[in-house]
Structure 1
C-alpha cells in the first residue's frame, strides 16, 4: 500500500504499485509519501507475507482518556453472568460521557471485530443508560487492557476474498430487544 496525498492504493504486486504511482504523478501534480504505516489511527504493518492492520496506539489512547489505563484485565469483552438489559431501578449515568465512550469504541471496531458485539450491545442503551451499562463498557475496556495488540491480518498469498466468522449472538446470549 502506498499513500499519495489523500489517496491510498495497494496491490499484492509491488511493480503494479510502482507503475500506478508513476502514472498518477505523470497525470496529476502530486507527491508520494511512501508506504502506508499510519492512517486515521490505523497502524499498517507491511511485511513480506502480508499486511497487519491494528489500532493498539488508539487502544492505549482511549484507555488513558477515560481513565481505564490501570484496570485489571478481563479475558472476554462481555460478562455472560450479567445480562445487559434495561435497568430502570439503577442510577443514571452521565449521558455525554457514555456516548463519548461508545463513539470511541465504535471507531475501534474497524480493526477489532472481537469487540463488535459487546460495543453495539452497549450502544443500544444510549438513551436509557444506567450504571449497569457503564459497568458493561468498563468490561470492554478491561478486555482491551488485556489484549491491546489484536488486529486484522491479510495474507499476501491468499486470494482476496474477505471472509469473516463471528458468533453474532455471543454464544446464544439473548437480550430482550423490546427492553431498549
Structure 2
C-alpha cells in the first residue's frame, strides 16, 4: 500500500511498500519539480516526532504562536480548559465591540483540536456564540488559551505496538 497526502504544494508519501514509494517519487519527479525533504517532521502546523514507542503529533509551535497573537500578557495558566460550573447563554453580558479577535481565536483553537482533543468540548461551547460573542464568552476563550499555555507540549501518541490505540501526551483522563 502506498498513500499520498497532498495539500497545495505540500505532500506526504507513506506506506508499507518501499519500492512502490520509490517508484511514485520517481514518477512525480519526472513530471513535477519537487524536493524530497526526508522523514516527516512538520506538516500543516503538525509536528511529528518518532521514538521507539511510536509517533507523537503535537502543535506546540502553532499553540505558542496563537497565544502570542492573543491578548494574554500575564503568566497565569488554567488547570482545565473549562470551568465545570460555566453555563454560557447567548445573552451573557455585553456584546463585544469588535468580535473579530474572538472569531479568529476560536477558529484557531478549533484547528488546534487536531492534536488536542482535550479542548474539543470547550471549543464546541464557545463556537456556539460566533455570531454575537459577548464579554463572558471571550473570558472563557481566554481561559482555554491559558490552559493551552500551561499544556503547550500535549499532543497525540500513536503506539507502534498497537496502531489502533490513541492516547494523549502529558494528559491523564480520569473518566
Rounded to whole Å, the distance in 2 between the matches of 1:133 and 1:96 is 13
2:131 corresponds to which residue? Answer: 127
Measured against aligned partners, the alpha-carbon deviations of 1:18-74 in whole angstroms (never above 9, x if no partner) come to: 323311133332542110101111100022221100001111101011132534111
- The structure whose RCO (Cα within 8 Å, separation 6+) is larger is 1
Asked if structure 1 preserves the Cα contact closer than 8 Å seen for 2:156 and 2:167, the reply is: no
Residue 60 (structure 1) aligned with residue 64 (structure 2): yes
1:91 corresponds to which residue? Answer: 94
Q: CA deviation at 1:139?
A: 0.8
Rounded to whole Å, the distance in 1 between the matches of 2:48 and 2:115 is 11
User: Aligned residues, how many?
Assistant: 160
For the residue of structure 2 that corresponds to 1:59, the secondary structure is: helix
1:150 corresponds to which residue? Answer: 154
Q: CA deviation at 1:2?
A: 9.7
Measured against aligned partners, the alpha-carbon deviations of 1:73-114 in whole angstroms (never above 9, x if no partner) come to: 1111001223122225x1111211111111110110111000
Asked if structure 2 preserves the Cα contact closer than 8 Å seen for 1:2 and 1:33, the reply is: no
Question: TM-score with structure 2 length normalisation?
Answer: 0.80
1:112 corresponds to which residue? Answer: 116
Question: TM-score with structure 1 length normalisation?
Answer: 0.78
Rounded to whole Å, the distance in 1 between the matches of 2:149 and 2:83 is 15
Worse-superposed segment, 33-42 or 79-88: 79-88
Residue 50 (structure 1) aligned with residue 41 (structure 2): no
Structure 1: gaps spanning 5 or more residues: 166-180
Over aligned residue pairs, what C-alpha RMSD do you find?
Answer: 2.7
Rounded to whole Å, the distance in 1 between the matches of 2:19 and 2:59 is 30
